[in-house]
Amino acid sequence: MPKKYSLYIVSLIVVCFVIANTYLLSEQKYWGLVIPFLIATIAGGLLRVELLLTAVAFLTPLSTSLQELGFYNPMGVEMALPTEPLLFGLMLIAVIRMLSDKELFKDLYKHPFTIAVALYLFWLVVTTLTSSMPMVSFKLLITRLWFISSFYVLGFAWFQNKDSVHRFVKAYLAGLCLVALYTIFQHSTKGFEHEAAHWVMSPFFKDHTSYGMALALLLPFSLYLAKWNTPKGWSVLFFVVTLILIIALILSYTRAAWLSVLVAICVYVVIKLRIRFSVLFSLMSFFIAFVLMFQTDILMVLEKNSQDSSDSFIEHVQSMSNVSTDASNLERINRWKSAIRLFEERPHLGWGAGTYQFNYAPYQNYYEKTIISTNAGNMGNAHSEYLSALAETGWPGLLTFLVLIVSIFTRAIVLYHQLEDEKEQGIIMACVLGLATYFTHAVLNNFLDMDKASVPIWAFFAIIVVLDVRHSKRKKENKKRRL
């Protein structure tokens, strides 16, 4: 096509857009402003998708929600800016790439973990159709799809290059470190008080629990980069970053995050010592049996603990087991019991993904409510990734979620011992320990609807799958050479 005709067409499109958007603005409809941004994102992503993925990784810890920015709307639409519009664009790019380059993703499609992801998504679709609030569930389904398509599907293609793994983690750590430094400074102006720790990370994180989760999730990779980076200057830099994350984690006063790091250390010991699964299963069975046999005595001991959350580190740790006066602990138990009652009413299909907060209020017992209980559906969710899945998607939903977790951990741990390259082993270990912190934390909170958690988690999944596929190909090549 001659250049002058191309110029005429582009000019016509621009004029039409200006006229249409002027009309939309006059009607107080602002979604038209997103169109050029979306087109530019898709065009840029198709040309250099790795730059867009790196940008999203860096911006994710720095993103903020519409609510934090002071935008409230009657439809209840919540969005993280600027990451979620970018993730939507990446989802469209993923669809185009999957249709145009099937050869690139064939190993991904065949991988057992991808089959587990497909089952998980299939059941989300089913429970969206049967949801008590279909639009709410549909919104959550779309967010799951753009996280998975961006950092699992496109991540699989991106992480074929080993340097891309470092690039992703460095980008996310850079953004998170900026937030940590900002939060520590803000906290210092308040004398590092415990109460201030709940909100000083705003507007980047909605509360200290999600902030602590992100710090714990990336801490193992920060340690990995401190060990394996060359030249030495980079290693020193990431040693400093690790110290910043540790200080920030302590000052976050997030008890669940502290606990998750301890669990990750235990996982590290188990992997390094090659402790067999049968031994772990026996120990866990014994522990569960012990708790069930002596649950009354244990509860009596716990009820004697009246230590509330405190500025003192030791007292704050002691408050973890306070189920008599600590409002945070009591409210969490209230939400858990409400989730179980919701499950009992709809055990097979649940109430629909994302609907817990709108349905749980009538299922609270008045004598279990706390000073922070609410019936408005505006103060959080089930405070457990597992009970949330149980209440919202029924027992099959929880089962598919557990299959997802167990399959990735078992494959990653087996792969760790099979790999010969120490750097690849380090990457797998960092992924496993990071995921261990999250899925421990997930017993007490749920953040998979947030970009802060889902972006690194699905990226870690993709990294493990890439290394697994690469190792399988090496084994096949070695067998051929022997023959």
pLDDT in tens for each of the 483 residues of the chain?
Answer: 444 444 555 566 666 766 776 666 566 665 565 666 666 666 666 667 888 899 999 999 999 876 666 655 544 556 788 888 889 888 988 988 888 888 889 999 999 999 999 999 999 999 999 999 999 999 999 999 999 999 999 999 999 988 899 999 999 999 999 999 999 999 999 888 888 888 899 889 988 999 999 999 999 999 999 988 767 778 889 999 999 999 999 999 988 899 999 999 999 999 998 887 777 667 777 766 765 565 555 455 555 545 455 554 454 445 554 555 567 778 888 899 999 999 999 999 999 999 998 999 888 887 788 877 777 655 668 889 999 999 999 999 999 999 999 999 999 999 999 998 999 999 999 999 999 999 999 998 889 989 999 999 999 999 999 999 999 988 888 777 776
Confidence at residue 274, expressed as pLDDT on a 0 to 100 scale: 87
Alpha carbon distances (Å) from 469 to 60, 166, 272, 473: 28, 19, 23, 6
Contact 323, 332 (CB under 8 A): no
Q: How far does CA 145 lie from the centroid of its chain? A: 13
CA distances from 427 to 133, 170, 271, 441, 451 (A): 41, 13, 14, 21, 22
Provide the pLDDT for residue 225. 92
**CB neighbour list of residue 481: distance below 8 Å, 6 or more residues apart:** none
CA distance 263 to 276: 17
Residue 117 is predicted with a pLDDT of 97
Query: What's CA 233's distance to the chain center, in Å?
Result: 31
- Give the separation between CA 392 and CA 423, rounded to whole angstroms: 40
Which amino acid is present at 274?
Answer: R
Please say whether the dihedral angle defined by the alpha carbons of residues 418, 423, 424 and 426, taken in this order, is positive or negative.
Answer: positive
Residue 480 is predicted with a pLDDT of: 74
pLDDT of residue 394: 96
Burial class (CB in 10 A: 0-12, 13-18, 19+), 120: buried
Q: How far apart are CA 9 and CA 1, in angstroms?
A: 11
String of DSSP letters for 405-451: HHHHHHHHHHHHHH---HHHHHHHHHHHHHHHHHHHHTTT---TTSH
Give the residue among 162, 248, 255, 235 at the shortest CA–CA distance from 443: 255
Query: Following DSSP, what letter does each residue of 285-352 receive, concatenated?
Result: HHHHHHHHHTHHHHHHHHHT------SSHHHHHHGGG--SS-HHHHHHHHHHHHHHHHHHHSTTT-S-
- DSSP secondary structure of 189-231: TTTT-TGGGGTTTTTTSSSHHHHHHHHHHHHHHHHHHHHH-SS
> What distance in Å separates the CA atoms of residue 418 and residue 423, rounded to the nearest whole number?
13
pTM over 0.75, yes/no: yes
CA gap 173, 58 in Å, rounded: 7
Q: Which helix (H) or strand (E) holds 270?
A: helix 255-272
H/E stretch holding 56: helix 49-59
The pair of three-digit structure tokens given for residue 193, joined into one six-digit string:
């008080």
- Asked if omega into 396 is within 30° of 0 (cis), the reply is no
